[in-house]
Amino acid sequence: MSRLPAQADRPAGCQFRARAGSRTASMCHLNGGRGTTSSGTVFDIKKFSLHDGPGIRTTVFLKGCPLKCRWCHNPESQAPEPELVLRSGRCILCGECVSACTQGAVSRVNDSIVTNRHRCVACGACAAACYSGARETIGRPMTVEEVVEEVEQDLPFYEESGGGVTFSGGEPLLQAEFLLTALRACKERGIHTAVDTSGFCEWKTLSAVAEHVDLFLYDLRIMEDSKHREFTGVSNAGIIENLTLLSRGGHHITLRVPFVPGVSEDPENLAQMAAFAAGLRHVGEVNVLAYHRMGVEKYARLQRVYELDETEPPSERRLEEAARIFREFGLCTRVGGGARGND
């Protein structure tokens, strides 16, 4: 994959900053966020997806997220710029990456290859030279036309299953202009659209995008603001307000609730969340999503520390108990994704 040059600056036009410890996040908006009306940064496109909305779908993952959830299973999605991923177990010590690097960021030290990420500009030269697939660049520039061309390939499956396209991330609204243009293009072709979002954005941005979205997969993590800041790096005040406004506007919503042991599992948090959701007229379904450890290895590939290394996935019994809390408030609730949508 081709790579964009790394950029150290924050997105232009960010007007809101939330700090939790050493983490800083920016709430971005149209005419100032990353991405343009014609191109954006995509880190994956998954065909035949069954867990990102109704029917068979194509999920487009946009890079960049203002949240830093400690349990995030896609850490490669967080930084808005492309990144280098290292799979040390595949390295055959051929040294081609050392020769290819123009920044002096890759060197051979004794019997290993060492990468200095402070020097690395994620140009992709070392990954292109790597025979064994030990190096990969995550994130590539794509135009709206290129994305829509990928999405259109599976039109017959969408028509048969009631599926469509889902834009996810990261946080897709971080590239709001690109997202908006892509959504318009998909709607013009009669494709059902869904957006998987944290809701951490300005209402003006969300409302503009909402006009072209058939279903929101809206993440609601923790109700207590201080705890939300601690585990995600941002306040949930704007997230809750945006969710309320979306529902008032009649937009279809599937609420997605991550069940993370030691973080969001306590009954009081779940009951507060259920009571709030029950007051929203257009929440059609709640999905309780189990914490899992499938992304742990990704942190090592990015040379980062996974903060919940001692946390184990919850049992089916605990997940069903959580779902029961939401059902007691009259909410259609299931364990897992694959939302039916709001017909």
Per domain, the residue ranges of the chain are 16-81+141-335, 83-138
The answer to whether the peptide bond before residue 170 is cis (omega within 30 degrees of 0) is yes
**Residue 341, pLDDT above cutoff 80:** no
- d(C-alpha 314, C-alpha 290), whole Å: 7
Residue 338's pLDDT band, with cuts at 50, 70 and 90, is low
The single-letter code of the amino acid at 193 is T
Residue 37's pLDDT band, with cuts at 50, 70 and 90, is confident
Location of structure tokens 């809206």: 218
Q: Which two tokens stand for residue 145?
A: 């036309």
Q: Which two tokens stand for residue 87?
A: 């799979």
The helix (run of H) or strand (run of E) holding residue 161 is helix 155-161
DSSP codes joined into one string, 273-319: HHHHHHT-TTEEEEEEEE---TTHHHHHHTT---TTTT--PPPHHHH
Do domains 16-81+141-335 and 83-138 share one topology? The answer is no
**Residue 33, pLDDT above cutoff 70:** no
Residues 187-237: pLDDT tens digits? 999 999 999 999 999 999 999 999 999 999 999 999 999 999 999 999 999
- d(C-alpha 148, C-alpha 162), whole Å: 18
The predicted model gives 53-81 an average pLDDT of 96
Instruction: Name the CATH architecture for the domain at 16-81+141-335.
Output: Alpha-Beta Barrel (3.20)
pTM: 0.87
Average pLDDT, the chain: 89
Residue 29's pLDDT band, with cuts at 50, 70 and 90, is low
The predicted model gives 156-183 an average pLDDT of 97
- Under CATH, which number does the domain 83-138 receive? 3.30.70.20
DSSP lists the bridge partners of residue 289 as: 258
- d(C-alpha 213, C-alpha 204), whole Å: 15
More confident residue, 115 or 37: 115
